Structures are given as C-alpha cells and as structure tokens.
Amino acid sequence: MELDGFALNIGDPALPWVRDTLNYMFDYTRDNFPDFKLFISMDVWATKSGGWDVHNFEKLLGDFKGHPAYLKGPNGASFISTFSDGGFQDFEWKSFREHWAQDLYFVPDFDKTSGYNTSDPGE
C-alpha cells in the first residue's frame, strides 16, 4: 500500500514561513512525485483561538488551489478540509462557502458547529 496524498494542516496562514514551506512542498511534489497530491486542511481550532476567521485562508487558497500538485475533488474543484469546527457558527461557514462557490470541494469537520445539524437542509 502506498500513500497517494497528504493533508497540510495550517493554523495561521499569515505566518511568514507558511507560504515558503507550501511553495517548496507543492513544487517538490509536482517535480518528483507527479501522482502524489497535497491539499490544505484549515486548522480552524488554531485559527479561532488566534483571533482570526476562516477568511484569513483566502489568499493562500487562491494562490495554491490551481497548482498541479493540488488534490482535486470528484467535481474537479480543489479539495479543502478543516481540522475541527473551531467554534465557528453556521453563518460564518455559509459566508465562506458562498465566497468560494464552485472553486473548492469542501470537506469540513463540523463536529460541533452550532446550528449545523439543525439547520435547514436546503441551506
């Protein structure tokens, strides 16, 4: 059995070493392991505890989602996940989802998000 992808868990996308590390990892993967894919997993627990919100990831996602080493979901959009729900409310996630629309294949961990399990299924 071999690995074919890896989640990159990021808590604070604004730290100066994050972008350099992602550049290196994505380029190295593309150049040396073309069948191996990477994707960003937003550590929103760290994000919320640091006083940021999910929109802090937008620049990073915009810059990397089109990279050849970035994992695509079954709909062809770039795969994104979360680590925990971070204590964000359903309306905060709705705003994030509306911003990215069809650009991302979003697989969140909404384990305890208030309102998520009780919201209208059409939302």
In the chain, where the domains are located: 5-25+33-107
Residue-level pLDDT at 47:
57
Asked which of 33-37, 43-47, 64-68 is least confident by mean pLDDT, the reply is 43-47
Q: Tokens for 42, please give them.
A: 């937003």
Cβ-based neighbours of 13, under 8 Å, separated by 6 or more: 56, 57, 59, 60
Q: How far apart are CA 36 and CA 69, in angstroms?
A: 7
User: Would you state the pLDDT for residue 80?
Assistant: 87
Residue 19: both structure tokens together = 């972008």
What pTM, to 2 d.p., does this model score?
0.78
